[in-house]
Each structure stands twice: as structure tokens, then as C-alpha cells.
Amino acid sequence: MQSDRQDHILRLLAETGVLHVDEAVERFASSPATIRRDFNQLAESGLVERVRGGIRMANEGSMLPFTAREVQHADEKREIARRTSSLLRDGDVLFVDGGTTTLQLAYCLPPLKLRIITNSLTLAAAIESRSSGRGRWEVFLTGGFLFPGSGLLVGPSAQAGIVQYHANWALLSAGGITEAGIFNDNEHVVESERLMIKHADRAAVLADDSKFGHHAMRHIADLDELDVMVTNRQTATSRQLENQAGLGLRLLYTK
């Protein structure tokens, strides 16, 4: 079983890229033998790769744990969520998926009456902790199987929960964006994201500039199924999307 210390190692590694034994010993006040054991276990799980004297993140295409992805491009994700929140209106019903960028919405929801339907226990808990019992935001969980280590509710029950509702917005994260559409590395939630798009009036994707020009493992939707894309800055791929005649996709930038 992965320890809390290993979770912290992954978070630190996401920031630094490479972590050596002596650095981890000092940071976590643990013995070299304990740190080497942690490094070996993480390497055996495929989350990291061993390098001389330490570890580094596994290949870019690998699906990183939520806690590791959460600290990557953290400032950009906060600004993207803040920009997205300006689209919301009093009384809106929202589908929100369980990505690390959409999680930031919990910390910048406007003081409006909103109903949020989500498959993320992490997002629901973050909204609840901020609401302080005022009842401004109502949270509905889809139900489903709690996928280990992710905080996500997945499977047929989660999908059945989504189709009970209709929303004004589907607010989604993405693992990759190209002219072929949006993609996700986590195959367990792709069908839920597709249903959120289908059962919402409008769909918005929240993604930092590192996601543009890259595929991920599973295709979620074509670009013409989306209404808004919120990102932190213009890239070559986002310019191409803006120039596609008749696409109807609006790109919003935080800077």
C-alpha cells in the first residue's frame, strides 16, 4: 500500500522533475534505507523511473497520480478556473468532472446559487468545506464505484447517475487537445465525460497550454461538440483552432 510519504514524494517530484535520495532524506526526515525502499516501490508501480542516486517522473505519456498532476501548472490552473467562473450565472446547473483543473473551480465559484453535479469526491469535499453551511451551492454526486486512489466515481452506476440530470454547462478537463478533438488519459471516466456533454446545453473545456498539440489515450469528443475552451495562453494549436471556419468554438485566454 502506498504511504503518505510516497504521495508527498510524488508531489515534490512533479515540481522538480528529479529527486535524489539525499534530498528526500533531508526533506522527509527519513533514513536512506526507507527512502530507497520508497523509490523502489514507486518504480515497480511504474509511476517513476530510477536514475543514478534517485528517481524521475515516468515517461510523459504515463498517467500520473492525481496528487502529482495537481501541482503541475498549478498557477495556470487556478487562473483558468477563475476565468471559467465568470461564465456562470445565477441558477446554473453544472456538470463538473474530476480533473485537476476543474478541481480549482471549488476555490473560485462566484457567490451565486449553483447546482453542481460531479463524479469527484475531491471536488465535492472542497466545495463543501468552502460553503461553510450557507447552502449557496448544492452538490450532487453521481454515485458509482470509487476508483482506488483517484477520488473518482466511475462505472455504469456513475453513468446512470449523470443521465438523470440536464445541465446548463458541462465543465471538463482534458489530457490532450488537437484538431481531432479532446482526449483523456483516464479511460475510466471518458464515457462519463461524453454523457456530461450530451446532457448539457453547453460544454467548456478547461486546459492549460501544455495540453495543446498532444493526444492522450482516449478520445472524448470532437471540437464541434464543444462551445468554449478556456486556457492560459495562445499556442500554435489554439491559433489553428481559432482559424477553423465554422467550428463555432470560442477560445478564452487568461492572459
First to last CA, the chain: 42
- From the number of C-beta atoms within 10 Å of its C-beta (0-12, 13-18, 19+), residue 9 rates as buried
Say which residue the cell 467562473 belongs to.
85
Pick the more confident residue, 49 or 149. Answer: 49
Class for the domain spanning 4-68? mainly alpha
Instruction: Please give the pLDDT value at position 61.
Output: 42
Residue ranges of the domains in the chain? Answer: 4-68, 73-253
Taking a C-beta distance cutoff of 8 angstroms, is the pair 109, 99 a contact? no
Taking a C-beta distance cutoff of 8 angstroms, is the pair 81, 206 a contact? yes
Tell me the per-residue pLDDT of 209-222, one tens digit each, with 9 for 90 and over: 989 988 888 899 99
Average pLDDT score over the chain:
86
Q: 73-253: what fold?
A: Rossmann fold (3.40.50)
Q: How many Cβ atoms are within 10 Å of 177's Cβ, its own excluded? A: 27
pTM: 0.74
